[in-house]
């Protein structure tokens, strides 16, 4: 089918929540995508930080094929090896407590919010200005953005919004606080790296009051910033964290991972989901987690990130380069519309990037991206200089 035909079906049958670009992708490999006409694209968005191991990584494909042909689903009323092995691998890779598997990032944050409220009944959840935690009601209530929240009021009560400021975080946390929930690097609102001072203030406030410090590592995790989890590059260890996006190697899965203190806060019957931790996605995630834990890959992410950042800083229309590892954003001259620029990159240069705001473009290529691909992406961004 042509893009025009797909747009016709969309107009008639798809609830119009998305603004899609007029491109139909039909194949992916590594950091490359192909459209229905056979044109090749460089993918510097990776499905919004999902394809960290690259499109169609052969080991992910093999794990999925193998599992789906034997057993695709049984529910959580029974045991399957991939779910338990994945829970163990996630715990051992990070906080050392227990794991709740689910199907997406928003669901992982829902589980985190329930965990925090179960540990401190009725408690508030402190969240930061500029945060994005997802679109379901709990996660949306933790996402203080007027345009996203206002049409869906009333939201879940008990969320306290504070500026990205250490003193404000510290002041907001008291004995009525169940959790501070934050992204160590805010992704959807333009790649804002939170300062160590803020993270330390949050840690100290939680230690002082017994609140839970929860990191949303849905976008920052799985090697994206040059360590498996972004918290490893900070001075702080959270009490719990959430993962999703790249965890499934391209398949939908999410996880809430606790440290020891919160490992048994949720009880039998407290939470669940039919598909959560199904054997196919868990098999894919086991491979993706192993690949993203590789020290050589993580070192490469740090080097590649520096190379890309340096290239971006040389672009004539760029005012700021922000981020860590391969989680980068550029601010462009204020008179340039970032969305139009991203669209021109896609349609004229076959480079996939994304605008996260009126003047900000986000770049999150697969972690396996080569130097040639990094340089090629910068060259394509030079070619669309207004």
User: Which of the residues are catalytic?
Assistant: 132, 216, 245
- Asked if 105 is part of the footprint of ligand PLP (rule: CB under 6 A), the reply reads yes
- Asked if 244 is part of the footprint of ligand PLP (rule: CB under 6 A), the reply reads yes
Q: Does the bond joining 211 to the residue before it have cis omega, within 30 degrees of 0?
A: no
Neighbouring residues of 53: CB distance < 8 A, sequence distance ≥ 6: 60, 246, 249, 250, 287, 288, 291, 292, 366, 367, 368
The CA–CA distances, whole Å, from 286 to 48, 106, 279 equal 20, 21, 10
- Asked if 349 is part of the footprint of ligand PLP (rule: CB under 6 A), the reply reads no
DSSP conformational letter for 103: S
- Asked if 329 is part of the footprint of ligand PLP (rule: CB under 6 A), the reply reads no
Residues 64, 106, 111, 384: which binds ligand PLP (CB under 6 A)? 106
Query: What is the Cα 322 distance to its own chain's centre?
Result: 17
Distance CA 181, CA 134 (A): 12
Contact 223, 301 (CB under 8 A): yes
Supply the minimum distance, in Å, between the C-beta of residue 314 and ligand PLP.
28
Supply the minimum distance, in Å, between the C-beta of residue 333 and ligand PLP.
26
- Asked if 328 is part of the footprint of ligand PLP (rule: CB under 6 A), the reply reads no
- Asked if 287 is part of the footprint of ligand PLP (rule: CB under 6 A), the reply reads no
Supply the minimum distance, in Å, between the C-beta of residue 195 and ligand PLP.
18
Distance CA 238, CA 256 (A): 12
Residues 121-140 contacting ligand PLP, CB under 6 A:
132-134
Distance CA 118, CA 123 (A): 9
- Asked if 188 is part of the footprint of ligand PLP (rule: CB under 6 A), the reply reads yes
Q: Which stretch binds ligand PLP (CB under 6 A): 87-95, 103-111, 275-283, 361-369?
A: 103-111
Q: Considering beta carbons, is residue 161 or 336 the nearer one to ligand PLP? A: 161
Residues in contact with ligand PLP by the rule CB under 6 A? 48, 104-106, 109, 132-134, 183, 187-188, 216, 218-219, 244
């Amino acid at each position: 089918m042509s893009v025009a035909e797909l747009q016709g079906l969309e107009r008639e049958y798809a609830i119009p929540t998305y603004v899609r670009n007029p491109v139909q992708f039909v194949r992916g490999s590594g950091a490359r995508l192909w459209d229905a006409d056979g044109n090749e694209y460089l993918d510097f968005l990776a499905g919004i930080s999902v394809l960290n191991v690259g499109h169609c990584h052969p080991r992910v494909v093999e794990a999925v094929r193998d599992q789906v042909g034997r057993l695709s689903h049984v529910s959580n009323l029974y045991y399957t090896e991939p779910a338990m092995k994945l829970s163990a691998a996630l715990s051992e890779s990070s906080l050392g407590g227990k794991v709740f598997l689910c199907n997406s990032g928003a669901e992982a944050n829902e589980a985190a919010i329930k965990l925090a409220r179960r540990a401190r009944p009725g408690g508030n959840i402190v969240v930061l200005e500029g945060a994005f935690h997802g679109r379901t009601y709990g996660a949306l209530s933790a996402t203080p953005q007027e345009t996203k929240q206002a049409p869906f009021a009333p939201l879940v009560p008990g969320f306290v919004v504070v500026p990205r400021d250490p003193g404000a975080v510290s002041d907001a946390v008291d004995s009525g606080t169940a959790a501070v929930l934050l992204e160590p690097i805010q992704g959807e609102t333009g790649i804002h790296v939170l300062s160590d001072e803020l993270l330390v203030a949050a840690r100290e406030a939680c230690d002082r009051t017994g609140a839970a410090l929860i990191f949303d590592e849905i976008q920052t995790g799985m090697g994206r910033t040059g360590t498996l989890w972004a918290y490893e590059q900070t001075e702080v260890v959270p009490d719990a964290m959430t993962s999703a996006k790249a965890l499934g190697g391209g398949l939908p899965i999410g996880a809430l991972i606790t440290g020891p203190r919160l490992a048994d806060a949720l009880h039998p019957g407290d939470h669940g989901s039919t598909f959560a931790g199904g054997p196919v996605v868990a098999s894919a995630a086991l491979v993706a987690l192993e690949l993203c834990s590789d020290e050589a890959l993580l070192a490469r992410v740090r080097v590649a990130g520096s190379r890309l950042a340096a290239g971006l800083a040389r672009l004539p229309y760029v005012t700021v380069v922000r981020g860590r590892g391969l989680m980068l954003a550029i601010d462009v001259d204020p008179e340039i519309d970032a969305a139009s620029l991203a669209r021109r990159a896609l349609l004229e240069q076959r480079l996939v990037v994304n605008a996260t705001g009126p003047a900000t473009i986000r770049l999150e290529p697969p972690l396996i991206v080569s130097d040639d691909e990094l340089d090629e992406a910068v060259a394509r961004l030079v070619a669309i200089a207004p």
